[in-house]
Amino acid sequence: MNVAAGVTEEGADGMVTITPREDVPANAGGLCQKGWTAGELLTGGHRLTTPLLHGEPASWDEALGFVAARVRALQAEHGPDGVAVFGGGGLTNEKAYLLGKFARMVLRTSQIDYNGRFCMSSAAAASNRAFGMDRGLPFPITDLAAADAVLLAGGNVAETMPPFVRHLTAMRQNGGSLIVADPRLTATARQADLHLQPTPGTDLALALGLLHLAIAEGYVDEAYVAGRTNGFDAVRTSVAAWWPERVERITGVPVSQMRRAVAILGNARRAAVLTGRGVEQHAKGTDTVTAFINLALALGLPGRPGSGYGCITGQGNGQGGREHGQKADQLPGYRKIDDPAAREHVARVWGIDPDDIPGPGRSAYELLDVLGTDAGPRGLLLFGSNPVISAPRAGHVAERLRSLDLLVVSDFVLSETAALADVVLPSTQWAEEQGTMTNLEGRVLLRRRALTPPSGVRSDLEILQALAVRLREPAPAGDGGATPGSTAPGSTAPGGPDMVRAFPTEPREVFDELRRASAGGVADYAGITYERIAAETGVFWPCPDTGHPGTPRPFLDRFATPDGRARFVPVEHRPPGEDVDEEYPLYLTTGRVLAHYQSGAQTRRIDALNAVVAETFVELHPDLAERLEVSAGETLRVVSRRGRTEGVARVNPAIRADTVFMPFHWAGANLLTNPELDPVSRMPEFKVCAVRLERVG
């Protein structure tokens, strides 16, 4: 089976063996701990294999019939937006596409978004307004090895994406320099030639200060700026006030380190500026990323071979998951849902009237925040996400989920969110299904089925088809749809499309329709086929026809803006949405650890990973620990304005003395985080909030 990085086989003893693939350049035979152990969950005892209805085993017919009946009743009472859909950045392209189609064509609801809003939305928004296109890396990842310098702001790839590190290591072995900006001396920062350690929430000021120095010290590529960009004069004026001493007072980064960073970048023949979640997951994340893009543009990097700006993708299909319609404002091909031409094109592929496609809905947190209220949806269908752990102000989100009249979760295991559901539908997972994923380079990869799924488990494509058939056929007589109706192929509401044909269960059929729906869009997959992906080890989008070679470096000749020029955008630093004070005197920042992934719903069920890190912890500086008389291993209570949680103290000089760190893989960290939203991307402020520490007992 082709995965992004490995081959999976099932032995005669039922054990699953994972072997890294050598032919995928992003990984080149490398896997992290999570990859090596991923097979254990496929055959372990945590696996869901039968639907659950109110916590009790049920048949598929009972479960799907109940869902259809409740959806009908809720929409009859509250309108189409009475039921919402929530997706995930780990879904294949085929699933993400069909989920968006299901929401708009079957439910006709505008209320659909996904957990990727919590991941890359700020970088996506900044890239779109600067370049006219959002692709994590608009160049192959292997280009980094030939760079002379890389600035990585807010990323800890040594723990979150270990195979990525090989490209940075190769760069340094070739004489290049790595600069890392992070409030913690992370595993990645320890490998850097220069570590900038800003106060949480001040990355935007740091980027403005770096650009100020680049201008003042003559590193601006004036010919590039004049020939390939617009708007630099306004940015030059706006950063004039960000002299280095002022930036040092705000960020805590010494002027000497800022000057050194700018000199390294400015003197490099080839350089890259990369951002990660650390600078993006803020209520000013879009502006922060924009400031780093402005720095890259001033140095003449984007669009040059071996140089550029890029964003490090977070989830398994973080790139493809946001391209094909599971975002609130988006249609397939990265089209805007309020664009009449986009609506007409997609409606033609779907065989419906453009007016039947709903308009934009709420973003992820805004949707979760109103669930079960008079102003929001009363039902939610959730695929591949665990917001009880991953959403900000998670306690409030759990309350909103409990208040729903209907919660349906399709998942692999009984996550914390699935445990609250009225209906849980057991779904197939990566080794048991075919489909495509798009990696951070924009390379579309094929994942082949290797294992037969357990009896009683269905794919998300099969679930969507079964629900589409039930929901668009005439409601059964009697109790308003409480009894499942016929599911004969082709049955549908009078005059409506055939739901079996409209919602195929074969991934290749879905992908072929996705190709047509994306044709002409920014993320154009029209020329990408399963055969080409297999033969070429992935194909880069945009790829408008089968004779097109794909586009590994889309900005070489022009940017994706109407005039082909990149756009400088002036931005200003502002404090975090919540600053420290006497009651809450410390900054909390959150992140991941090497052994676990995202909400931990899967990795926390693997013994080998729990042996590395089994519980949440609170990392604090020795000076802070001494002041509070805290010892390593002691249980601490962390309190914010939204909630409280506990964790074991880890005393570590790698963190700032005014900051504490908690991983978000366990219930706890996101009970504390601030849901204040970025006005452009609608990204919550995960990475900084004010807290206090209390000794327990």
CATH code at 46-116+318-540: 3.40.50.740
Tokens of 292: 């780093």
Q: Residues 225-248: pLDDT tens digits?
A: 999 999 999 999 999 999 999 999
- Residue 482: the pLDDT is 35
**Stretch 492-501: mean pLDDT:** 65
Tokens of 390: 């991953």
Instruction: Provide the mean pLDDT of the chain.
Output: 91
Which percentage of the chain shows pLDDT scores above 70? 94
Split at pLDDT 50, 70, 90, the class of 487 is very low
Coil, strand, or helix at residue 325? coil
Secondary structure letter of residue 476 according to DSSP? P
**Stretch 295-305: mean pLDDT:** 97
E strand or H helix at 285: helix 285-298
Distance, CA of 85 to CA of 172 (rounded, Å) = 45
Q: Residues 28-77: pLDDT tens digits?
A: 777 777 777 777 777 777 889 999 999 999 999 999 999 999 999 999 99
The residue type found at 47 is R
Could you tell me how far CA 257 lies from the centroid of its own chain? 31
**Stretch 321-350: mean pLDDT:** 96
With a cut of 90, say whether residue 148 has pLDDT above it.
yes
Higher pLDDT, 74 or 605: 74
- Residue 340: the pLDDT is 97
Q: Mean pLDDT lowest for which of 122-136, 148-162, 304-318, 514-528?
A: 304-318
308 contacts: CB under 8 Å, gap ≥ 6: 137, 138, 139, 143, 272, 273, 296, 301, 302, 555
Q: Residues 81-139: pLDDT tens digits?
A: 999 999 999 999 999 999 999 999 999 999 999 999 998 899 999 999 999 999 999 99
Work out the angle at residue 233's Cα, subtended by the Cα atoms of residues 229 and 237, and round it to the nearest 5 degrees.
140
With a cut of 60, say whether residue 421 has pLDDT above it.
yes
**Stretch 464-478: mean pLDDT:** 79
Which residue shows structure tokens 């307004």? 129
Burial 525-547 (b: 16+ CB within 10 A, else e): bbbbbbebbeeeebbbbbbbeee
Question: 586-695 architecture in CATH?
Answer: Beta Barrel (2.40)
Tokens of 654: 């790698």
The residue type found at 563 is D
Distance, CA of 173 to CA of 177 (rounded, Å) = 9
Higher pLDDT, 479 or 95: 95
Cross-strand partners of 635:
648
Distance, CA of 509 to CA of 505 (rounded, Å) = 8
With a cut of 50, say whether residue 486 has pLDDT above it.
no
Q: Where are the domains of the chain?
A: 46-116+318-540, 121-316, 586-695
| CB-based contacts of 652-655 (< 8 A; 24+ apart in sequence) | 652/619, 652/620, 652/621, 652/622, 653/185, 653/621, 653/622, 654/184, 654/185, 654/186, 654/189, 654/619, 655/183, 655/184, 655/185, 655/619, 655/620, 655/621
Q: Residues 524-568: pLDDT tens digits?
A: 999 999 999 999 989 999 999 999 999 999 999 999 999 999 999
- Residue 49: the pLDDT is 94
The residue type found at 83 is V
- Residue 495: the pLDDT is 41
Higher pLDDT, 442 or 44: 442
β-strands 689-695, 586-591 pairing = antiparallel
On whether the pTM is more than 0.85, the answer is yes
What single string gives the DSSP state of each residue in 610-672?
A: HTT--S-EEEE-HHHHHHHT--TT-EEEEE-SS-EEEEEEEE-TTB-TTEEEEESSSTTHHHH
With a cut of 90, say whether residue 183 has pLDDT above it.
yes
Coil, strand, or helix at residue 154? coil
Could you tell me how far CA 170 lies from the centroid of its own chain? 27
- Residue 476: the pLDDT is 53
β-strands 635-639, 659-663 pairing = unpaired
- Residue 43: the pLDDT is 77
**Stretch 389-403: mean pLDDT:** 96
With a cut of 70, say whether residue 274 has pLDDT above it.
yes
Q: Would you state the torsion angle of the CA atoms of residues 302, 308, 309, 311, taken in this order, to the nearest 10 degrees?
A: 130
CATH code at 121-316: 3.40.228.10
**Stretch 381-401: mean pLDDT:** 96
Q: Is 240 exposed, middle or buried (0-12, 13-18, 19+ CB in 10 A)?
A: exposed
With a cut of 70, say whether residue 587 has pLDDT above it.
yes
- Residue 21: the pLDDT is 77
- Residue 206: the pLDDT is 98
How many CA within 13 A on the CB side of residue 403?
16
With a cut of 70, say whether residue 488 has pLDDT above it.
no
Secondary structure letter of residue 17 according to DSSP? E
**Stretch 420-440: mean pLDDT:** 94
Coil, strand, or helix at residue 675? strand
Q: Residues 621-644: pLDDT tens digits?
A: 999 999 999 999 999 999 999 999
375 contacts: CB under 8 Å, gap ≥ 6: none
E strand or H helix at 308: strand 308-311
Distance, CA of 660 to CA of 663 (rounded, Å) = 10
Which residue shows structure tokens 């327990």? 696
Q: Could you tell me if residue 204 is left (phi over 0), alpha (psi between -120 and 50 degrees) or otherwise beta?
A: alpha
- Residue 519: the pLDDT is 98
- Residue 475: the pLDDT is 55
With a cut of 50, say whether residue 485 has pLDDT above it.
no
- The yes-or-no answer to whether 121-316 and 586-695 have a common fold is no
With a cut of 90, say whether residue 11 has pLDDT above it.
no
With a cut of 50, say whether residue 12 has pLDDT above it.
no
With a cut of 80, say whether residue 141 has pLDDT above it.
yes
Which percentage of the chain shows pLDDT scores above 90? 81
Distance, CA of 400 to CA of 406 (rounded, Å) = 11
- Beta-carbon count within 10 A of 353 CB: 11
Distance, CA of 29 to CA of 42 (rounded, Å) = 22
| CB-based contacts of 34-40 (< 8 A; 24+ apart in sequence) | 34/595, 34/596, 34/597, 34/603, 34/609, 35/5, 35/6, 37/606, 37/608, 37/609, 38/430, 38/602, 39/8, 39/15, 39/431, 40/16, 40/606, 40/607, 40/608
Of the candidates 267, 263, 259, 256, the one whose C-alpha atom is nearest the C-alpha of residue 148 is 267
254 contacts: CB under 8 Å, gap ≥ 6: 248
